[in-house]
Homo-oligomer: A and B are copies of this chain.
Amino acid sequence: MGSLGPYQRKHKVSVVGSGNWGTAIAKIVAENAAENSDVFDKQVEMWVFEEKVEIGKDSPHYDASVSGPQNLTDVINRVHENIKYLPGVSLPTNLHANPSIEDAVKDATILVFNLPHQFILKTCQQIQGKILPYARGISCIKGVDVSEEGVSLFSERIGKTLGIYCGALSGANIANEVAREKWSETSIAYDPPHMDSKAATPQRSPTSSQVDLVQFQHRDTSGEISKVKLQALPSDYPPINHDILKTLFHRPYFHVRVVNDVAGVSISGALKNVVAIAAGWVEGMGWGDNAKAAVMRVGLMEMVRFGDKFFGATIDQRTFTEESAGVADLITSCSGGRNHRCAKLSVERNQPIEEIEQSELNGQKLQGTLTAVEVNSFLKKQGLEEDFPLFTAVYRILKGQMKVAEIPSYIER
């Protein structure tokens, strides 16, 4: 990407998280960092929560000179494979597994967050004040937190905690397929306050060129206004913009479209699970492909309406109807996802979905049922249940207050 121009410094990329999806994304950004060494530091750091692993004698990675349990990071750096969370996939040699989160992030200008959502806040607190103040983030964590009070995006929570701007990546992606380079698409949303370029904004301090600060306001759906002070990227780095993010994430097998709508990309990833539950029920009823497509269409429209109602001007409804994070992820989730599958089985076996969850998911919880309950508590408080008949129907069916057979008449209008 010579078109990005000659800058004195290169971007250092760190991936925070090394699970299934974290490692798959780390593989991608390391491949691109290696191929675009004019813009990126070749070595990409991946923070790995250290643990001990055993390598059996029948493994191709068995090394007779090493006995007993080994550190996962050492194994990754020696065999270039995350044998625990992404076995069977070769990783680029320029991807470095780092057991120290502080060391992994300290020089990074681009931080990629990809870990289970329950660990985000704690992890961010751990590195507060220990990152470059002008770093930028991309959150690959799916979904949002919905409560009675409002909707909170993981990207925003990361940004607020660290005092940086953080965008989001979400799409119709299954980690194992992406890691095996099966073709898919994704959406990246990135729309920081205007400050990276030389074009001064009114809030930009004209006197300090190295430490430009922009104070921007964010109002979340609960009405809370937070002020975040954002530090400009020094001008000897290539600007972090849509082009550079595409350079970092796009692969021949992983097509990236970069948009501005962080809220849309994030809430799609949560709400589609609620629609997938409904689609699974309808399929379980044996009503045919048209009925399933109808419930998906109605769900898509409620996703649009939800975004429009609670994020207003900042949302672009085309995120839902045209991007991978929207319509494509919805289609995937309503074809083979676990929410869809468990809902379908619950109708076919005439069992509550909780029982299916227990028997099919090994104690894991469905995201769709949790989100349906959270979304309903929020809608109820706003007096808006009737404006979202499908979301409301899903909630009521989960609570035993309605039957799946009533969906068509309930959403009829």
Binding site for B on A (CB under 8 A): 171-174, 177-178, 182-185, 252-253, 255, 287-294, 296-298, 300-301, 304, 318, 321-324, 327-329, 331-332, 335-336, 408-409, 412
The residues of B that contact A300 with a CB separation of less than 8 Å are 322, 327
A325 to chain B: closest CB distance in Å? 10
Contacts A321-B327, A322-B297, A328-B297; A182 near B291 (Cβ below 8 A):
yes
A184 vs B282: C-alpha distance in the bound complex, in angstroms? 11
A201 to chain B: closest CB distance in Å? 31
13 contacts between A and B (CB under 8 A): A174-B289, A177-B288, A178-B290, A182-B290, A183-B294, A184-B291, A252-B412, A255-B294, A255-B412, A289-B331, A290-B328, A297-B331, A300-B327
The residues of B that contact A185 with a CB separation of less than 8 Å are 290, 293-294, 297-298
A289 vs B182: C-alpha distance in the bound complex, in angstroms? 10
A332 vs B335: C-alpha distance in the bound complex, in angstroms? 12
A289 engages B322 (CB within 8 Å): no
A234 vs B298: C-alpha distance in the bound complex, in angstroms? 37
The residues of B that contact A178 with a CB separation of less than 8 Å are 290
The residues of B that contact A172 with a CB separation of less than 8 Å are 289-290, 293-294, 297
A304 vs B318: C-alpha distance in the bound complex, in angstroms? 12
A290 vs B301: C-alpha distance in the bound complex, in angstroms? 21
Kindly identify which residue among B174, B296, B329, B409 contacts A328, using a CB–CB cutoff of 8 Å: B296
B328 engages A327 (CB within 8 Å): no
A279 to chain B: closest CB distance in Å? 10
A296 engages B331 (CB within 8 Å): yes
A335 vs B178: C-alpha distance in the bound complex, in angstroms? 23
